[in-house]
Structure 1
Amino acid sequence: MSQEENTSGWDAIDAATHALYGNQEPKHYGTAIPYMLGGPDPLNGISVYRVETPTPHWHFVTYGFSELYDKETDDPDHSGYGFELTFRLLRNVEEEEPPAWALNLLQNIGRYVFNSGNIFHPGDYMDANGPICLGSDTLLTALAFIEDPDLEEIATPNGAVKFIQMVGVTCRELETIQTWNTRGFLAACAGFMPKYVTDLIRNSYVDIPVVEEAVTRGIEQEGSSTAFLFIQQLEWTSVHQETLQNAEPAVLQVGAKQARLIGRILRSRTAKGDSLSLIGPNVNITFKAGDEPSFQENENNVTLIVNDAAVIELMEKLKPKAQTFELNTLPGITFRIVRTEITDPDGNIIDTIG
């Protein structure tokens, strides 16, 4: 960086970490070739701090989701995407360098944001569809996002920047988050995961009695915060009929991976009178609570009205296996569950569900 270059955004992040860690010199991993010039890494850099409390861990802080230099966007209130990511990873006592996989994970998240334009907020989650540390046997296959417990939002000359911490979670924990909400679940686990430090070798927390009780209570009181589910294998075949006597039922197809989850979230949502929308490549299907089960088609949008009996029956039948069934409580629709193939980043099939 030249002396004439405006580094006010970068300096603001440095000031926030300096207030937390004083004169500790972080291990900094910069990018040799900028992303805009064809470099492979979208983030300008990642600083990593060595932390001893509440448990020894590495604290990663990104540089690049916000505007580090001159103001480029038209949004005066937010710098760039309005956030930087952090990540806390359990550190072995003999470790002198943070593991490269964690740096790669943060850069991969950067690629996702830069390529899709989708940004993260505290309370969000993401299914990694495999171990967050590629090649390991960790149970952590998803990420939750929460405010960093030590780095508060900062004001920079380019706008506000939040520090959002990624937290590794298991598949079952992700389902629990989707059935309830991220903040509630992480708060329930805080006693076992201080400062939300990610531990690759831990087991799932969902079966710990105090966590299980908090989850059950939270779902009963609050329902689910998941209003939308994006489902790649979602399909809808319309009713084809010439006469009512020759009517064939409509067909709703979902993948085996999401089948059970849909039932759990649907019950949590409708119990509070909330709707659930399934978003697929070519159709959107919205479940709404009502007294008389029915469905209505409107081009690529389908609305299903379900009562308690229909939700319970659907929840009982939505299993992660290939099958076809109908509901006594919601006639006129055939439900089809198809196998889901899990692939790695290169498109190779690594697992099959159903």
Structure 2
Amino acid sequence: MIMSHEENTSGWDAIDQAMQQLYGEQEPKHYGTAIPYMLGGPDPLDGISAYAVDTPMPHWHFVTYGFSELYDKEAEDTSRSGYGFELTFRLTRTEDETEPPAWALNLLQNMGRYVFNSGNLFQPGDYLDANGPICLNSDTLLTALAFVADPDLPERMTPNGAVQFIQMVGITCRELEMIQSWNTRGFLAACESYMPKYVTDLMRNSYADIPSVIQATERGIEVDGSSTAFLFIQQLSWEPARKKLLQKNVPAKLVLGAQQATLLSSILRSRIAKKATLSLIGPEINIVFEAGDQPSVVETEREVRLTVNQQAVDELAGQLRPQASFFELPSLDKLQIEIVPTQIKDQEGNVIKTIG
């Protein structure tokens, strides 16, 4: 194990102690970083450890070193250490497997790059669409990640502040949609009997087809509504209404990608039913839906606020399908909606699928 600050490793030691309490004297497989990220190294995390665990099924239990402050305290916030968390990941292990798969280590490092480069932090309840298999070049259905508090590692106080252990869980596209329509914790709890300890299994089928999971999700949506307040949509644009001399006025037009149509319908119904807003965040415009008795459209330079009642929601949700289409909403000043095809591309930019 290579330490870059041998004089003070209190943050690192705190993670070691948490894992030792869980697994005793087991020596983990540890993968350190030769060149620190700040000195131009490719990997942002200082290290990743993997423990071989046998219950509730054979699996690897990974833990990261680097989202928190491992050495001297540098951040001004004394209540938390660094970003305030480390990631864990549980992955099924075969009986003859003596080393954890490299793709899992790369996935965790990629999470480090995402946080370090964007400044966006993970919290229990978050989710992330990977836009492809979480293990590249595999036949897995798992194309997204959910985040939940690690069931065996409670938050820990260290000399540098508090550290949460947040576990990544591989999920399918349809499971992600169910989470977005409800919430992460509720959905994962509904799946727990099929996925104890939230161990990720690349070869599993989707839980979105299991009747008990479907019923729990439908009940949860009805009682809780959707926890999704923001949807980031790449294919989103707005054309303001235009007045033409001696001609009929042209209504405003909202343009959406087909990939998001069905999901938007589900989340919008859920949010508005609970009098909660839903914001669509696009490259150049934000569209905010909010509940109100009288439908209206209010435009500013960077934002459009659409006040909708139940009639407007029904009109919109009834037309939102993953296929190219064009329609008007009579209750919203004849607002025009255009659904355009979505092209799914691989890492080289080649179109591998068209939706709509």
How high is the TM-score relative to the length of structure 1?
A: 0.97
Whichever residue aligns with residue 41 of structure 2, its letter is: G
Q: Within the alignment, does 1:101 sit opposite 2:103 as a pair?
A: yes
Aligned residues: 354
Whichever residue aligns with residue 131 of structure 1, its letter is: P
Q: Provide the residue aligned with 1:164 in structure 2.
A: 166
Aligned mate of 1:231, from 230, 233, 239: 233
Provide the C-alpha distance between the structure 2 equivalents of 1:109 and 1:52, rounded to a whole number of angstroms.
26
Provide the C-alpha distance between the structure 2 equivalents of 1:347 and 1:111, rounded to a whole number of angstroms.
21
Gaps of 5+ in 2: none
Q: Kindly report which structure 2 residues correspond to 1:28-47, keeping only aligned pairs within 5 A, or say none.
A: 28-47=30-49
Q: Provide the residue aligned with 1:178 in structure 2.
A: 180
Provide the C-alpha distance between the structure 2 equivalents of 1:329 and 1:192, rounded to a whole number of angstroms.
45
Provide the C-alpha distance between the structure 1 equivalents of 2:177 and 2:162, rounded to a whole number of angstroms.
32
Change (3 A) 1:41 1:244: farther
Shift of 1:132: 0.3
Q: Provide the residue aligned with 1:83 in structure 2.
A: 85
Aligned mate of 1:246, from 232, 243, 248: 248
Whichever residue aligns with residue 339 of structure 2, its letter is: I
Shift of 1:205: 0.7
Provide the C-alpha distance between the structure 2 equivalents of 1:271 and 1:157, rounded to a whole number of angstroms.
46
Shift of 1:350: 3.1
**CA distances 1:288-323 after superposition (whole Å, capped 9, x unpaired):** 112222211122111111111221221121111222
Provide the C-alpha distance between the structure 2 equivalents of 1:160 and 1:93, rounded to a whole number of angstroms.
36
Provide the C-alpha distance between the structure 2 equivalents of 1:338 and 1:209, rounded to a whole number of angstroms.
33
Aligned mate of 2:126, from 124, 127, 134: 124
* Alpha-carbon RMSD: 1.4
Q: Provide the residue aligned with 1:204 in structure 2.
A: 206
Provide the C-alpha distance between the structure 1 equivalents of 2:218 and 2:6, rounded to a whole number of angstroms.
57
Gaps of 5+ in 1: none
Provide the C-alpha distance between the structure 2 equivalents of 1:244 and 1:178, rounded to a whole number of angstroms.
46
Provide the C-alpha distance between the structure 1 equivalents of 2:293 and 2:192, rounded to a whole number of angstroms.
40
Shift of 1:3: 8.0
**CA distances 1:250-304 after superposition (whole Å, capped 9, x unpaired):** 1101111111111100000011111111111111111111222221112211111
Kept in 1, the 8 Å contact 2:10–2:159? The answer is yes
Shift of 1:56: 0.8
Provide the C-alpha distance between the structure 1 equivalents of 2:291 and 2:185, rounded to a whole number of angstroms.
25
Provide the C-alpha distance between the structure 2 equivalents of 1:306 and 1:113, rounded to a whole number of angstroms.
36
> SS where residue 324 of structure 1 aligns?
strand
Q: Kindly report which structure 2 residues correspond to 1:262-281, keeping only aligned pairs within 5 A, or say none.
A: 262-281=264-283
**CA distances 1:55-90 after superposition (whole Å, capped 9, x unpaired):** 111000000011101111111111111100000001
Kept in 1, the 8 Å contact 2:291–2:307? The answer is yes
Q: Within the alignment, does 1:194 sit opposite 2:196 as a pair?
A: yes
Provide the C-alpha distance between the structure 2 equivalents of 1:29 and 1:50, rounded to a whole number of angstroms.
14
How high is the TM-score relative to the length of structure 2?
A: 0.96
Q: Provide the residue aligned with 2:290 in structure 1.
A: 288
Kept in 1, the 8 Å contact 2:5–2:71? The answer is no
Whichever residue aligns with residue 153 of structure 1, its letter is: E
Shift of 1:209: 1.1
Provide the C-alpha distance between the structure 1 equivalents of 2:129 and 2:267, rounded to a whole number of angstroms.
16
> SS where residue 111 of structure 2 aligns?
helix
Provide the C-alpha distance between the structure 1 equivalents of 2:333 and 2:339, rounded to a whole number of angstroms.
17
Whichever residue aligns with residue 312 of structure 2, its letter is: A
Provide the C-alpha distance between the structure 2 equivalents of 1:167 and 1:244, rounded to a whole number of angstroms.
59
> SS where residue 329 of structure 1 aligns?
helix
Q: Within the alignment, does 1:150 sit opposite 2:152 as a pair?
A: yes
